[in-house]
Amino acid sequence: MKSPHILVIKHGAFGDLLQADGVMHDIRVYFDHARISLLTSPTYQSLMQRSPHIDFVLTDKRRPLWRVSDLWLLRNTLKEQDFDLVIDLQNSQRTRLYRKLLLPRLPWIQRAAKSAPVSGLQGQIELLQQAGIDSQYARQADLRWLTENMQPWLTERGIQSGFILLIPGCSAKRPEKRWPFYPQLAKQLAAKDVNVVTLLGPDEIQLTEQFSSTILSGLNWFQLAGVIQQAGFVIGNDSGPSHLAAHLSKAGMAIFGPHSCARRAEIEREQFKPYSVSSLSELNIETVIAYLVAQGVVSS
C-alpha cells in the first residue's frame, strides 16, 4: 500500500510561512506516514525545502488567472503528483478557484468562507480542528531548523553576540509599515556605547549611507536567522524578520502603526512584544529609548 500523498498550500508571505510552521508540524505529526508536498511561491522554495515537516516543494508563480495556459500547466503538474488530499492553509479566492478548476475530485480541507477569523493563525487552527487534527504545536513554531551558525562569521567582522539588532525594512509593497527613524535611533544608541547592528534587506540598500552603525546585507534566509539568533535584542517593524525573531524566542519589539494590527499578527511572545502606535511618524526616538530603558536593555 502506497503512502498517502498530501498537498499543503501556503503561498506566503515570509512571515505567514514562518507563523504556519507549527501548523505544518501538527499536520506532519497527524499524517506521520504520509508524503507531504507544499505548494508555495518560488521565492520561498529554498526556504521551505529545509523544513523538517515537508518532503517536497512545488512552486506556483500565481500568474493572472486569465492566462489559461499557465493555469492548465499548474493543473497538469499537480495531477502528476497523484495527491490524495489537499490542505489549504492559504484560504484565498485563488485557492478556492483551484479547488474547483484544478483538483475538483480530491478531498480538500479548506476553511469555509464565512466571517474572517481574528487572525490568520487562528483561522489555520480552526481549520485543523475542523479536520480533527490536534493543534498542539500550532502556537509553538520552532524555527531552529532555519538557523545557520553565524557566530564565526560575525566574529570575523568584529561583531560580538548580544548586540541590538535593528531591522528597519518590511515588504516593498507596504512602505507605510516602516518606522522612519531607525538611523537616528542607531546614532543615539551608539552614543550610549551600545553595540548596534543594522540589517538591511534588498529593498533598503539605499538607506546604507544614513546609518552610522555596523550594517549587514545580502544575507539569505538561513544567514538572516543565524544573525538574529546571535542578537541580544531585536527592533523591527511588522515584517517577516520580526516574526522570525519572535519565533526564535528572542527578546525584542515590533513597531506597529495604524496600517497593521498586532493582534492579527499574533507576534507577541514571552520576550518579544508588539509596540502599537496610532502614527509611526509621531513615535519619537526618546519614547523608544525610554521603552528600552524600562525593559533593562539599555541604561538610562
Does 234 have pLDDT greater than 70?
A: yes
Question: Quick one: what percent of the chain has pLDDT higher than 90?
Answer: 84
Radius of gyration (C-alpha) of the chain in whole angstroms: 21
Do 85 and 100 fall into the same domain? yes
pLDDT recorded at residue 70:
95
Do 95 and 189 fall into the same domain? no
Do 131 and 212 fall into the same domain? no
The DSSP call for residue 49 is T
Do 129 and 244 fall into the same domain? no
**Tally of domains within the chain:** 2
Do 259 and 154 fall into the same domain? yes
pLDDT digits (tens, 9 = 90+) for 81-119: 999 999 999 999 999 999 999 999 999 999 876 667 778
Instruction: Judge if pTM exceeds 0.95.
Output: no
pLDDT digits (tens, 9 = 90+) for 180-212: 999 999 999 999 999 999 999 888 887 778 887
- Quote the domain boundaries for residue 180: 148-294
Does 8 have pLDDT greater than 70?
A: yes
Asked if residue 300 is part of any domain, the answer here is: no
Other CB atoms within a 10 A radius of the CB of residue 229 amount to 21
Domain boundary among 142, 166, 196: 142
Do 49 and 76 fall into the same domain? yes
CA proximity to 25, closest of 98, 89, 90: 89
pLDDT recorded at residue 1:
63
Domain boundary among 142, 176, 195: 142
What does the pLDDT average to over 132-143?
95
Asked if residue 299 is part of any domain, the answer here is: no
CATH number (domain holding residue 250)? 3.40.50.2000
CA proximity to 164, closest of 143, 147, 189: 189
Do 162 and 244 fall into the same domain? yes
pLDDT recorded at residue 55:
98
Do 167 and 288 fall into the same domain? yes
Asked if residue 198 is part of any domain, the answer here is: yes
CA proximity to 22, closest of 133, 113, 170: 133
154 contact partners, CB below 8 Å, separation of at least 6: 160, 161, 227, 230
Do 242 and 113 fall into the same domain? no
Asked if residue 246 is part of any domain, the answer here is: yes
What does the pLDDT average to over 13-27?
95
Do 242 and 282 fall into the same domain? yes
**What are the distances in angstroms from CA 28 to CA 5, 88, 137, 276?**
12, 15, 11, 35
pLDDT digits (tens, 9 = 90+) for 28-67: 999 999 999 999 999 999 999 999 999 999 999 999 999 9
Evaluate whether 147 touches 248 at the Cβ level (below 8 Å): yes
Domain boundary among 142, 176, 191: 142
